[in-house]
Amino acid sequence: MTDNGNGDVKPGAPRWPSVLTWRAHNASRMESVRVVVSGNRIRAAGRIIAGDCEDHPAFSASYDLVTDEAGVTKRLSLRSTLATGERHASIARDEENYWLIDAGNTHVRSTFGGALDVDVVLSPFFNTLPIRRYGLAHTSEDVQVPVVYVRLPDLLVQEASLTYSSGPDGIHVLSPVSSATVTVDDDGFLLDYPGLAERI
């Protein structure tokens, strides 16, 4: 929805770019991301800020994501800052669907099991990528989604698989670290991920 200058909001007008913000349910952590959507293409620039807890030390992490016109991840750059210093990771997919990972001393070229998406632990935003590509906000379907899985705050990159099962009560997500039924808006962006975060 946009303002036409007279204070009137026109329904149905594009609402992008937009800033989406989530607050963790049970931790001192927030994520905020500026998102630009054009068809199925997404550009996103976000930041996660987390306080010290039993799961991780205090850190901040920033990321820049670009997908192609099908919503498939093209590249993702990440930076993680801890008291001990900074870490960087660059993740890109080439035309042969190989992923090129450059993370400090680690250089990897792999298909990551046919992954088309990247998932970043602790981030509700990255669930949007497969949810939008498979249209799970509007259809009932079970899909197995191989991902390039990035852990925070150490930026360790692994091959992983997530399962999404959509139905009338929401979308059930089974990941390497959790199992939950999430709710999304009409555009497929997370509203609530029980045990992780809710949009504010």
Q: What is the pLDDT of residue 8?
A: 47
Percent of the chain whose predicted confidence (pLDDT) is above 70:
93
Does 9 have pLDDT greater than 90?
Answer: no
The count of structural domains within the chain is: 1
The arithmetic mean of pLDDT across residues 103-130, rounded, is 94
Structure tokens at 150: 């990035």
Sign of the Cα torsion 73, 117, 44, 156 reads negative
Q: Which of 90, 93, 44 is nearest to 72 (CA)?
A: 93
Average pLDDT of the chain is 91
Q: How far apart are the first and last CA of the chain?
A: 18
The C-alpha atoms of residue 49 and residue 61 are separated, in whole angstroms, by 7
The C-alpha atoms of residue 119 and residue 160 are separated, in whole angstroms, by 9
Q: What is the pLDDT of residue 143?
A: 97
Structure tokens at 133: 């590509």
Q: What would the pLDDT profile of 48-83 be if each residue is shown by its tens digit?
A: 999 999 889 999 999 999 999 999 999 999 999 999
Query: In 3-state terms, what secondary structure has residue 162?
Result: strand
The C-alpha atoms of residue 55 and residue 36 are separated, in whole angstroms, by 32
Q: Which of 33, 56, 68, 62 is nearest to 154 (CA)?
A: 56
Does 14 have pLDDT greater than 90?
Answer: no
Q: Which of 153, 133, 150, 151 is nearest to 56 (CA)?
A: 153
Using pLDDT thresholds of 50, 70 and 90, give the confidence band for residue 15.
confident
Q: pTM score, two decimals?
A: 0.89
Q: What would the pLDDT profile of 137-156 be if each residue is shown by its tens digit?
A: 999 999 999 999 999 999 99
Are 72 and 51 in contact by the 8 Å Cβ rule? The answer is no
Does 39 have pLDDT greater than 50?
Answer: yes
**What is the extent of the structural domain holding 30?**
2-199
Within 10 A of 137 (CB to CB), how many other CB atoms are there?
18
How far apart, in Å, are the Cα atoms of 180 and each of 22, 119, 126, 158? 16, 16, 15, 21
